[in-house]
Amino acid sequence: MTKLNYFHIERENNPKRREAFTADFLGKISPVNNDNLLTGCECLETILKRSLKVQSAGENILIIGLTESGIIPSILMQKVARENGMTTALLSSTRRPSTSGIVFTEKHSHGPNHSIPVPSPEISEIWIVEDELTTGNTVFEVLSRFCFQLKIKTIRIFALVDFRNKKQKKEAFIIAQSFDVKCIFQSFLVFTDTSFTDPKKILSTTINTENSAPERKNRLKDIGHHDSWLMYKYRSALYEQHNKEDNDPNWHLSDSFEDTTVLVIGETVDIATRLALKNPGFSFQHITLSPWKIDNASIVSRLDFDNKYFLYNYKNLSRMICILNDPIDKEISKIVKNKLEEYGFTVCPFPLTELIKSN
């Protein structure tokens, strides 16, 4: 049986969502490598197979990952789907300013505003893959917008852990019925005793449908010039990524850089995940937006950058650090570099475009 190495921790500055969860393969409190990610794949395959016992997979499947914590699980779920003979498309949300795509708000979040590219119109089944479900509100905020413009028949919601109480679970099925879709939840772990406050009920009649069918604008032009994104053609926040291996670039790195630990800023964690899947010697840790308290157990040290980004357990890292970030995040990258150097680290940018052998 697959064992998930997880950590039950506490959020900071969010009294409505105090409890939090992370797993080792998410790379937020320690470096993650190929082995960790493959363990994550095993966990996701377990809940996928449970879900498929309820109902077999349909066609035209779209996997959605919500930034930041849903990016790694959604990439791994697409890998698992491919290995089980299913063809899927992958999209992820971004918090970078946008006027195109499907825009929604994540209540009680440290980064509430998201947008997702408008998917292909033939999509009929959606999988949302999350690290944790707390209230379920964000999931249905997203699905409400998709259901108004696509002919969705089935929604599968996967999470590593489900914190929802009985009332929230009941409300979820009421909401799904209001959209006339079948909703299937699966989680690897369930926490039944939580301190969360019940959310306000989300009903289909309260959803803002003003922009329910947005135009398929030029996503890249709207959200930032391609110079703002590394390897922009392969970013699920910009374009659908299909799980056909021949569509992938060559993610293999030159051997001399495989043993370098990389710190990844923000949404570039998708690139780091793909690199780790292809390069067993590559490892990375995520400098994240998630504000968690030091508990002297899972988290024993923390560095804050610009009161927004956080690096956990930094004292355990090697003194040689590379930073991977999109050009759009160059200012926070400078802040990270300067502070790490103050703490005695040697820091350099990770030369991604030079190290990818061919594309």
| pLDDT values of the chain reduced to their tens digit, one per residue, 359 residues | 677 888 989 988 766 667 888 999 999 999 999 999 999 999 999 999 999 999 999 889 999 999 889 999 999 999 999 999 999 999 999 988 765 678 777 665 555 678 888 888 889 899 999 998 888 887 777 777 787 777 888 999 999 998 888 888 888 888 888 888 888 999 998 765 433 222 233 222 222 333 333 444 454 455 555 678 998 889 999 999 997 655 566 787 876 665 668 999 999 999 999 999 998 889 999 999 999 999 999 999 999 999 999 999 999 998 889 999 999 999 999 999 999 999 999 999 998 876 665 44
211 plus 296 within the same structural domain: no
52 plus 169 within the same structural domain: yes
Q: Is 1 within a domain?
A: no
Q: Is 207 within a domain?
A: yes
Tell me the residue type at 32. V
Q: Is 272 within a domain?
A: yes
Nearest of 346, 276, 314 to residue 28 by alpha carbon = 314
66 plus 22 within the same structural domain: yes
Q: Are 10 and 18 a contacting pair, CB within 8 Å?
A: yes
- SS3 state of residue 262: strand
308 plus 215 within the same structural domain: no
- What whole-number distance in Å separates Cα of residue 282 and Cα of residue 274? 10
Last residue of a domain, one of 171, 202, 220: 220
Element (H, E) at 89: strand 88-92
Q: How many domains does the chain have?
A: 2
Q: Is 225 within a domain?
A: no
Q: Which residues constitute the domain of residue 129? A: 7-220
214 plus 104 within the same structural domain: yes
11 plus 141 within the same structural domain: yes
Residue 319: DSSP 8-state = S
* pLDDT in the model for residue 65: 95
C-alpha angle 7-8-10 in degrees, rounded to nearest 5: 125
216 plus 253 within the same structural domain: no
273 plus 214 within the same structural domain: no
Q: Is 231 within a domain?
A: no
C-alpha angle 210-216-222 in degrees, rounded to nearest 5: 95
Bridging pattern class, strands 6-10 and 346-349? unpaired
Q: Which CATH number belongs to the domain containing residue 282 in this structure?
A: 3.40.50
- What whole-number distance in Å separates Cα of residue 154 and Cα of residue 123? 10
Element (H, E) at 334: helix 330-342
- Alpha-carbon distances, residue 37 vs 30, 74, 229, 283, 308 (angstroms): 13, 12, 24, 10, 26
Q: Which CATH number belongs to the domain containing residue 154 in this structure?
A: 3.40.50.2020
* Residues whose CB falls within 8 Å of the CB of residue 358, separated by 6 or more in sequence, listed in order: 249, 250
* Residues whose CB falls within 8 Å of the CB of residue 202, separated by 6 or more in sequence, listed in order: 137, 140, 141, 144, 171, 175
Q: Is 241 within a domain?
A: no
